[in-house]
């Protein structure tokens, strides 16, 4: 069993930290390999930021999202056992919503429900409404034995003794009849689906199947409440508490499991299995018995189709604020639906790589979400691609350049990675609202369009027909060979633009040759006078004063991104600004306590901007 390799820091870590590290290792290592990940059943994984280990995950056959987070740990003889709470957040449209309580069902209809799921650890109410069981993960001090357990109840039930009704248009409408079920959720079967995926991940990583299994069952309870708000528990004849444990490595599991499940309370069913005996019938086909035999192969449809296994390489460029990230999100969603895995390389300009900081990436992966891994370009492109391919097997690699990058300056580097990737095209996203002014002011924006194999005119919904016609003529004058497509919020079917290899298209091939013949002295953001500056804030700001400071920004400041915190709020906010338009959104990454703005513009003077901010930003009677 490979537990020693997976758990190298156990001796130095505390029990709680060590158990959380162990869970992290199992789920992340499995998701590093898309083919294996797909067979085992993972469909998406994202770390949720909090003081404890927490993840949201999607698995096969479920429309909703599972949430798992650390609760507690305890020592039992020479074992450390950690308990994790398991939630299930249903898709608002799936039938399982009806099995949750009225309060939980109402929560799924909130506009911010999906956003709340992403940060579910920030809401105790959300975690409580949708809890369906617990997962136990235990390891002995010698690190040669491990257990993984599930505790749940067959039907999670609550009964409205007096019923539930409401007044609608002057009439009383009965939602739940007296004595009817407010909640009747199949908790154990739902939790078991996640447990099966998690246990198979353990088998794959440990390189060996379980050697011990224990299943226990006893009568469960149901919650009853009345109109006065009182609630109590009653024994249930129709709902069973259920426990399922697997043991890996050396024996000694029996005592620790019986301590965890409180063996002093009688069980109606108690079945134990050890290596060499016949497997319990209802679990004989579980993947956890054979997941160690899954090969470390590449994505399944590549194997089936017999195509070149090098991932397609796409360069995504476009001026600041054009909508590259929106396009990329749609691209990833499309590929995920087809079981394809996308690796994204991002690069930034300035003294702080903001996008990398916000995502907490820098080849330290905290998110493998819906078939995508994001990395930050630190050195040259060739090294970055080799690092990705050493850890992942993506179907696509997308280089999302900074808004000030000139794609002509990437051509030499692209030619160096042909052995590792299949270069597809340069896709340039154009901000339809600001393109005319941008082209007048910034030569690099013209080169981004001229170098493109495909041009996407974004924000078309905000333009008139005459404006679109005028801009189209202007763009075609710069690059007559590239297809030009109008899009809204970066949304376009990728099959339309990436369905055929451009090298097979004579027009595209001719354009590439002419582009490669371009002189080597191309514009850069430096030659256009672009620069960036950073303004840091040591304390929360007054919102009104902050907005007054933003109004003072000169026209030469094109883009602003950063994290700010206001005195009237209790959470930091992500602030984004493009040419006078701005928006705030929630930001909750405790790993980055810094509050700051990154300003990008032409011939900007940091001292003058900083002084203007200082004149407006006040916190009570003190400047920020």
pLDDT digits (tens, 9 = 90+) for 545-572: 888 888 888 877 777 888 888 888 778 8
Which residues touch 500 (CB under 8 Å, ≥6 apart)?
Answer: none
Q: What is the C-alpha to C-alpha distance for residues 526 and 406, in angstroms, rounded to an integer?
A: 11
> Is 356 a residue whose pLDDT tops 80?
no
Mean pLDDT for 371-377 is: 50
126 vs 339, more confident:
126
Q: What is the C-alpha to C-alpha distance for residues 62 and 570, in angstroms, rounded to an integer?
A: 34
pLDDT at 381: 77
- 453 pLDDT tier (thresholds 50, 70, 90): confident
> Is 304 a residue whose pLDDT tops 60?
no
Task: Report whether 242 contacts 153 (CB < 8 A).
Answer: yes
Residue 133 zone, left/alpha/beta (φ > 0; ψ -120 to 50; rest): left
For residue 296 the two structure tokens come to 């470390």
> Is 253 a residue whose pLDDT tops 90?
yes
Q: What is the pLDDT of residues 496-549, one digit of tens each?
A: 677 533 333 333 333 443 444 444 455 555 555 666 788 888 888 888 888 888
| Lowest-pLDDT range of 74-83, 321-330, 376-385, 470-479 | 376-385
Most confident of the following: 33-37, 55-59, 128-132, 166-170: 128-132
> Is 579 a residue whose pLDDT tops 70?
no
11 vs 461, more confident:
461
Mean pLDDT value across the chain = 81
| Lowest-pLDDT range of 119-133, 300-314, 381-395 | 300-314
Which residues touch 394 (CB under 8 Å, ≥6 apart)?
Answer: 34, 311, 341, 342, 343, 373, 388
Mean pLDDT for 2-28 is: 74
pLDDT at 508: 39
Which residues touch 411 (CB under 8 Å, ≥6 apart)?
Answer: 515, 516
| CA-angle at 399, arms to 393 and 403, nearest 5° | 160
Q: What is the C-alpha to C-alpha distance for residues 356 and 352, in angstroms, rounded to an integer?
A: 9
Return the residue matching tokens 């099995």. 99
Return the residue matching tokens 């249903």. 90
- 4 φ/ψ angles, rounded to the nearest 5 degrees: -60, -40
Q: If residue 509 lies in a helix (H) or strand (E), which one and from where to where?
A: helix 506-516
Q: What is the C-alpha to C-alpha distance for residues 55 and 37, in angstroms, rounded to an integer?
A: 16
Count CB neighbours of 144 within 10 A. Answer: 14
Percent of the chain clearing pLDDT 90 (strictly above)? 39
412 vs 76, more confident:
76
Q: If residue 164 lies in a helix (H) or strand (E), which one and from where to where?
A: strand 164-168
The DSSP-derived string for 226-279 is -TTS-EEEEEEEEEEEEEEEEEEESS-HHHHHHHHTTTTS--SEEEEEETTSPP
Most confident of the following: 186-200, 233-247, 328-342, 472-486: 186-200
Q: What is the C-alpha to C-alpha distance for residues 175 and 286, in angstroms, rounded to an integer?
A: 40
Complete domains list, the chain, with CATH:
3-293 (no CATH), 301-516 (3.40.50.300), 530-623 (3.30.1220.10)
pLDDT at 413: 77
Q: If residue 381 lies in a helix (H) or strand (E), which one and from where to where?
A: helix 381-391
Q: How far is CA 242 from CA 7, 40, 150, 187, 358, in A?
A: 29, 23, 8, 10, 41
Give the SS3 label for residue 463. Answer: coil
Whole-structure pTM value = 0.59
Q: What is the C-alpha to C-alpha distance for residues 393 and 398, in angstroms, rounded to an integer?
A: 13
Mean pLDDT for 342-354 is: 60
**Cross-strand bridge partners of residue 216:** 243, 270
- 79 pLDDT tier (thresholds 50, 70, 90): very high
> Is 300 a residue whose pLDDT tops 80?
no
Mean pLDDT for 365-390 is: 60
């Amino acid at each position: 069993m490979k537990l020693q390799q997976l758990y190298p820091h156990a001796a130095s870590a505390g029990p709680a930290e060590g158990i959380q590290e162990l869970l992290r290792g199992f789920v992340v290592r499995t998701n590093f390999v898309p083919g294996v990940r797909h067979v085992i059943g993972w469909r998406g994984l994202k770390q949720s930021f909090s003081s404890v280990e927490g993840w949201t995950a999607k698995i096969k056959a479920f429309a909703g999202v599972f949430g798992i987070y650390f609760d507690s740990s305890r020592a039992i003889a020479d074992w450390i056992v950690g308990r994790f709470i398991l939630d299930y957040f249903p898709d608002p449209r799936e039938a399982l919503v009806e099995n949750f309580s009225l309060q939980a069902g109402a929560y799924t209809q909130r506009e911010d429900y999906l956003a709340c799921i992403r940060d579910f650890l920030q809401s105790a109410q959300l975690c409580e409404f949708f809890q369906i069981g617990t997962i136990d993960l235990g390891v002995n001090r010698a690190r040669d034995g491990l257990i993984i357990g599930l505790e749940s109840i067959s039907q999670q039930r609550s009964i409205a003794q007096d019923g539930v009704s409401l007044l609608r248009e002057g009439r009383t409408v009965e939602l739940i009849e007296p004595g009817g079920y407010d909640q009747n959720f199949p908790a154990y079967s739902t939790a078991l689906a996640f447990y099966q995926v998690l246990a198979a991940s353990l088998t794959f990583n440990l390189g060996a199947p379980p050697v011990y299994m224990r299943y226990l069952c006893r009568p469960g309870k149901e919650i009853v409440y009345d109109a006065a708000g009182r609630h109590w528990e009653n024994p249930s004849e129709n709902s069973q508490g259920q426990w399922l444990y697997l043991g890996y490595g050396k024996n000694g599991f029996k005592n620790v499991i019986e301590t965890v499940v409180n063996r002093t309370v009688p069980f109606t069913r108690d079945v134990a299995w050890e290596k060499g005996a016949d497997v319990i019938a209802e679990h004989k086909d579980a993947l956890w018995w054979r997941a160690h035999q899954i090969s470390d192969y590449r994505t399944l449809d590549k194997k089936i189709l017999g195509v070149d296994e090098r991932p397609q390489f796409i360069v995504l460029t476009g001026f600041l604020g054009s909508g590259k990230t929106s396009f990329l999100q749609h691209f990833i969603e499309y590929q995920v639906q087809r079981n394809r895995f996308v690796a994204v390389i991002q690069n930034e300009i300035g003294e702080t790589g903001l996008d990398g900081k916000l995502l907490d990436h820098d080849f330290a992966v905290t998110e493998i979400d819906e078939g995508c891994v994001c990395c930050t370009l630190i050195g040259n492109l060739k090294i970055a691609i080799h690092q990705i391919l050493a850890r992942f097997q993506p179907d696509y690699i997308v280089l999302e350049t900074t808004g000030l990058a000139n794609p002509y300056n990437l051509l030499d580097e692209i030619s160096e990675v042909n052995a590792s990737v299949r270069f597809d095209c340069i896709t340039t996203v154009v901000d339809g609202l600001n393109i005319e002014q941008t082209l007048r002011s910034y030569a690099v924006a013209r080169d981004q369009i001229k170098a493109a194999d495909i041009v996407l005119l974004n924000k078309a919904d905000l333009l008139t027909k005459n404006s679109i016609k005028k801009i189209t003529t202007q763009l075609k004058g710069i690059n007559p060979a590239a297809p030009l497509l109008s899009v809204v919020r970066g949304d376009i079917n990728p099959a339309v633009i990436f369905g055929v290899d451009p090298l097979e298209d004579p027009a595209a091939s001719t354009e590439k040759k002419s582009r490669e013949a371009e002189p080597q002295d191309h514009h850069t953001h430096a030659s256009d006078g672009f620069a960036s500056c950073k303004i840091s804030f040591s304390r929360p700001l007054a919102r009104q004063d902050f907005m007054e400071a933003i109004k003072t920004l000169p026209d030469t400041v094109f883009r602003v991104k950063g994290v700010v915190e206001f005195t009237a709020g209790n959470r930091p906010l992500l602030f984004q600004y493009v040419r006078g338009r701005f928006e705030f959104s929630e930001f909750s990454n405790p790993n980055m306590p810094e509050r700051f703005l990154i300003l990008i513009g032409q011939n900007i003077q940091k001292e003058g901007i900083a002084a203007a901010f200082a004149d407006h930003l006040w916190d009570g009677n003190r400047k920020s």
